[in-house]
Amino acid sequence: MRVFALMSAPYTIIIGLEVHVQLLTESKMFCGCSTKFGQSPNTQTCPVCIGMPGSLPVMNRRAFELAMKAAVALNCEIPKFTKWDRKNYYYPDLPKGYQISQFDLPMSRDGWLEISNEDSNSSKKRIRILRAHLEEDAGKSMHDEVAGKADSRIDLNRAGTPLLEIVSQPDLRSPAEAKAYLTELKLLLNYLGVSDCNMQEGSLRVDANINLHVDTPKGVVATPIVEVKNMNSFRAVERAMTFEVDRQWREWQETGHRLGDVPKSTRGWDEGSQTTHEQRSKEESSDYRYFPDPDLVPVTVTEAEVEQVRASLGELPAALRVRLEQTYGITPYDSDVLVNQGRALVDYYTELADACGDGKVASNWVQQDVLRWLGERQLGVQQYPVQPNVLAELIGKVRSGAFETSRGREVLGVMVDGGQSLAKAIAALGIQAVDDTALVALCQELLDANPKIVAEVREGKPKGVGALIGQAKKANPNVNANRVRELCLEMIAKIGK
Ligand code: ZN
Ligand code: MN
C-alpha cells in the first residue's frame, strides 16, 4: 500500500533526525553536581553550572566513556583529537550565555545504524550517522506552572547535565522509518546502559528536519527544510512528520514556483491540535559565533582506548536477534519481539529455552503468557513470579502428555496469581493423568452414544471425532485430546472388521 502511495506521489520524503540523550552519569558534564531527576528546583547547582565568573569547568571522564560507547556501537569513527567549543546564545535558562558543545571537531562521526526496512521484514536499511558529539544541557524554564500565576520560573538543576547529540544523515524516507530509527536507537542505548532514554523525563529529545524532493518537468525541486521541535513521544514524531509531509505538499502546490527563496524555519508540534506552527526562521550555525572554549583542554583518544570501549560493548540488539534465530530456530519476528523487550527478558527466554530444549515452544510461552501477564501489570520480567527452570518443568509436563497446553496455562495462572508451586497448582486444579483403561471405557461410552458420528467416520469422514473429543473433555477435563482421538479411531476401525 505504501509502495503504491510513493509511486503515485511525485515527491520523495527527506527526513534527518537530531537526537539528544542524557547520559547516565551520577554527576554533571563539567562539575560535580548531581544529575538526579525530580529534586527541588535549584538544589543541584554550583558556581560552574550557573555560570559564575571565575569558575572553571573540568570534564567528566565517565560522560566521555559513555559517549564513546554509544559512538562505537553506532559504527562511528573516533578521531584522535577532539575539542570543546562555546555556542553563544542568550536564554534565561542559560546563565553563562553560551553552551559548551563541540563544533568542527566532534568526538565521533560517520557511523550508521541498521533498521528493519518497513516494506520487507527480512531486509535491513542503514541510516547513516553524520556525527555524535558531547555537550551540556541547559536549565528548564517553567511557564505558568503554578495555577493562577502568570510568571515563569527557572530551574537550573538540569543545567550542565551531559548530553550526547546524535545527528543522522537525511536518509529517512517516511514518518514510519523515522519512528523505526528512533526505536532502534533507543533500544541500542538502553542495552549499552548509556541512557535511559526516558522521553517523559526529557532524557531523550528529538528534533526533525524534513522536506520534500518534488519531481517536476524541470527536474527535482526541494521544498524548504523545516525543523520540527516539541515532539514528546515517538508517536508524536511520526504524526508530526506525516502532518509536515501533507502541509509542505499543499504549500508547494499552492506556491511551489516561489519557494526557492524561503529560508529554513522552525516549527513546533502541538499535541492538542495535532499540527505544527511556525516559531521562527532558523538561525545558521554562524549565528552562534562558535569558538574554542579556552577553559577546557582538548581530549586525545588512543587506538587502545577505542578498542577497550569496543571490547566492553557486550552483545548488541542486532547481533542478539541473529543469535536467537540461529540458536533457537525462532523467526525474525519472534526474535525482534523478544530483543525489543530488553536484555533481562532475553536472559529469561534463553534460560527457559535451554532448560526445556525447544526454542519455539519457549518463545510461544514467553510471548503468550509471560509478556501478556507482565504487560497487563506494567511490570518487568524481574517481577515475574515463576522462574525459567520452573516454567520449563511445566512445559516439560505438557510435552510429555501429562496434560494439555490449555491446562498448562491454567496451571501457570494458579502459580503466578496464587503464588503456588507447580505441584500444588496441579493438585489445586485436580489434574491427574487419566489411565488408558479409564479412557477406553469413556471412549466406548461416547461411541455408543453417538452412532451417527461413528457411521460418518466409517464412511471416511473423520471430522466428527472432534465432537467426541469435546464431549470427552467435558466429562473429564484431564483427558488427553490426542489420546482420545487415537483410541476413538482405533475402536471405530475395529467395529468395521
Ligand atoms: Zn554544578
Ligand atoms: Mn545540541
Residue 161 to residue 23: CA distance in whole angstroms: 8
- What's the confidence (pLDDT) of residue 145? 56
- What's the confidence (pLDDT) of residue 264? 83
Looking at the CA of 52, which ligand is closest?
1
- What's the confidence (pLDDT) of residue 151? 81
**Per-residue pLDDT for 465 more than 80?**
yes
| Span from the CA of 274 to the centroid of ligand 2 (angstroms) | 25
Cβ atoms of residues 266 and 275 within 8 Å: no
| Span from the CA of 142 to the centroid of ligand 2 (angstroms) | 20
| Span from the CA of 131 to the centroid of ligand 2 (angstroms) | 12
Looking at the CA of 55, which ligand is closest?
1
| Span from the CA of 302 to the centroid of ligand 1 (angstroms) | 29
Comparing C-alpha atoms, which of 71, 60, 76, 57 is closest to residue 21? 71
**Band of pLDDT at residue 309, cut at 50, 70 and 90:** very high
Q: Provide the β-strand partners of residue 132.
A: 108, 166
**Percent of the chain at pLDDT exceeding 70:** 94
Looking at the CA of 136, which ligand is closest?
2
- What's the confidence (pLDDT) of residue 287? 87
- What's the confidence (pLDDT) of residue 6? 46
Looking at the CA of 19, which ligand is closest?
2
| Span from the CA of 20 to the centroid of ligand 2 (angstroms) | 7
Q: Provide the β-strand partners of residue 291.
A: 86
Looking at the CA of 28, which ligand is closest?
1
| Span from the CA of 249 to the centroid of ligand 2 (angstroms) | 29
Rg of the chain over all Cα atoms, to the nearest angstrom: 31
* Structure confidence by residue, pLDDT tens digits, 468-494: 888 888 888 888 888 888 888 889 888
Stretch(es) of the chain classified as CATH 1.10.10: 436-494
* Structure confidence by residue, pLDDT tens digits, 424-458: 999 888 887 778 888 889 989 999 999 998 988 88
| Span from the CA of 166 to the centroid of ligand 2 (angstroms) | 9
Residue 151 to residue 382: CA distance in whole angstroms: 44
* Structure confidence by residue, pLDDT tens digits, 390-419: 999 999 999 888 888 888 999 999 999 988
Cell of 47: 558556581
Residue 283 to residue 290: CA distance in whole angstroms: 13
Domain 436-494 classification at class level: mainly alpha
| Span from the CA of 160 to the centroid of ligand 2 (angstroms) | 12
| Span from the CA of 9 to the centroid of ligand 1 (angstroms) | 52
* Structure confidence by residue, pLDDT tens digits, 115-167: 987 666 568 899 999 999 999 999 998 876 566 677 888 999 999 999 999 99
